[in-house]
Structure 1
Amino acid sequence: MTTDVKLRRYKFDLAALQRLAALNYAAFKPLAESVRQHGAQVIKIGQHLRFALTVLESAPYTTEVRIEQQALVTQLPGLKETQLDVRLYHDAQLAEVVRSQGVTRLQPAYDVPNPRMHHANEKHQVNHFLQEWLQLIKSRGLLQEN
C-alpha cells in the first residue's frame, strides 16, 4: 500500500510579519529610547535570568539594539545564551529581528530540509519570540509604555 504524501511548502505571509513588526515596535520603542538615552541597561527577571540591552547603532530613522542573555550560573557545555539584534525603523514604525543567535540575514522562508537546519518560517518565529519576550518583561513590570 502506498501513500502519497504531498509536502506543503511554507508560504511567506508579508502582511502577518508586518503586523508583528508594528506590534513589536510599539512595545519596544520606549525601552529602546531609554537605552539610547541612558546607555546600556540590564533587565533582571527572577533570580537567574538577566538580559543586557545595548544600542549598536543609532541614526535618525533607525536604531539597532542588542538583547543578550547574561548567564548567572555556570553555563552548560554547548548552551548558547539568547542574543537578538533588533532594528527599529522609526519612519515606518516597525521593529524586526535582524540577527538571532549569530545568524545574520534571516530569510523570509527556507526550504526544508536545509544545511543549517533553519525552520521554514524562522524569520517569523524569531520575531514572534521578540513579541513574547516583550510581553514577559511588561507582565513583570519591567517595561512601561508611554
Structure 2
Amino acid sequence: MRRYVAELQRLQRDAAANYLLLQRLWPGQTQEQVVLGLRSAGRDLGSMSLRQLEKSRWTELLELRLDIGNSHPHLYPAVMQIRSYHDVRLTEVIAFQQRQAREGRYAYPNDAMFHPDEKVQVNDFLRELLRFALDKGYSLAVEIDNG
C-alpha cells in the first residue's frame, strides 16, 4: 500500500476556497449566530447554524452545526469548529464531532480511527456543506447580540 503524502498546496487551496464560501454566508457578521433552513426538491432537510465562539482582530472561531431534524431520527447533528484567518483569507476545520484532526497525515490504523487524509476529508466536507447551504439555504432566523 502506498503511503499517503499530505499535499500542502491542496490544503491551502481548499482553505482559501472555504474562506470565500464562508464569507458569502458570514460576511463580517455582527451577529453571534446565523441559522439557515435547508430545502431541496420541495423537502425540508433540516437546518444549518453558524455560531461565533471567538473573535479577534485576525482570526475567528465558529461552530457549524448541521441538524437533519426529525426526518432522520438516527442521525446525530454534524458539528464542526472552523477557524478563519482573515489576514491570509483561509478557513479550516479544527474539530469535527469534538475530535481534532491536526496532522496532515495519519498512520493507519490508529487509535482515533482517523483516515490517513482526515484533514483533507473534513475540509472537503466543509466546502460541500457551504456550497449546499448557499444553493439550498434560506434564512430561518438571525439572532443579534445587543451586547
TM class, shorter-length: 0.7 to 0.9
Is residue 12 from structure 1 mapped to residue 10 from structure 2 by the alignment? Answer: no
**Percent identical residues:** 31
Give 1:1-146 correspondences, 5 Å limit: 7-33=1-27, 36-46=29-39, 47-73=44-70, 75-76=73-74, 79-140=75-136, 142=138
Amino acid corresponding to residue 54 of structure 1 in structure 2:
R
Q: After TM superposition, what 4+ stretches of structure 1 lie above 4 angstroms from structure 2? A: none
Structure index of larger Rg: 1
Post-superposition offset of 1:14: 0.5
- Matched with 1:4 is none
Amino acid corresponding to residue 58 of structure 1 in structure 2:
K
- For the aligned residues, what is the CA RMSD? 1.9
In 2: Cα distance, 1:71 partner to 1:138 partner: 17
Q: Which runs of 5+ in 2 are unaligned?
A: 140-147
Task: Tell me whether 20-29 or 63-72 shows the greater mean CA deviation.
Answer: 63-72
In 2: Cα distance, 1:22 partner to 1:126 partner: 15
In 1: Cα distance, 2:69 partner to 2:137 partner: 21
CA 1:48 to 1:27, structure 2 compared with 1: closer, same or farther past 3 Å? closer
Post-superposition offset of 1:105: 4.4
Q: Is the CA contact 2:107–2:116 (under 8 Å) kept in the aligned structure 1?
A: yes
Q: Is the CA contact 1:32–1:65 (under 8 Å) kept in the aligned structure 2?
A: no
TM-score using structure 2 length: 0.82
Task: Tell me whether 25-34 or 43-52 shows the greater mean CA deviation.
Answer: 25-34
Q: Is the CA contact 1:54–1:65 (under 8 Å) kept in the aligned structure 2?
A: yes
- Number of aligned residue pairs: give it: 134
Q: Which runs of 5+ in 1 are unaligned?
A: 1-6
In 2: Cα distance, 1:80 partner to 1:117 partner: 19
Greater relative contact order structure (CA < 8 Å, 6+ sep): 2
In 2: Cα distance, 1:41 partner to 1:141 partner: 11
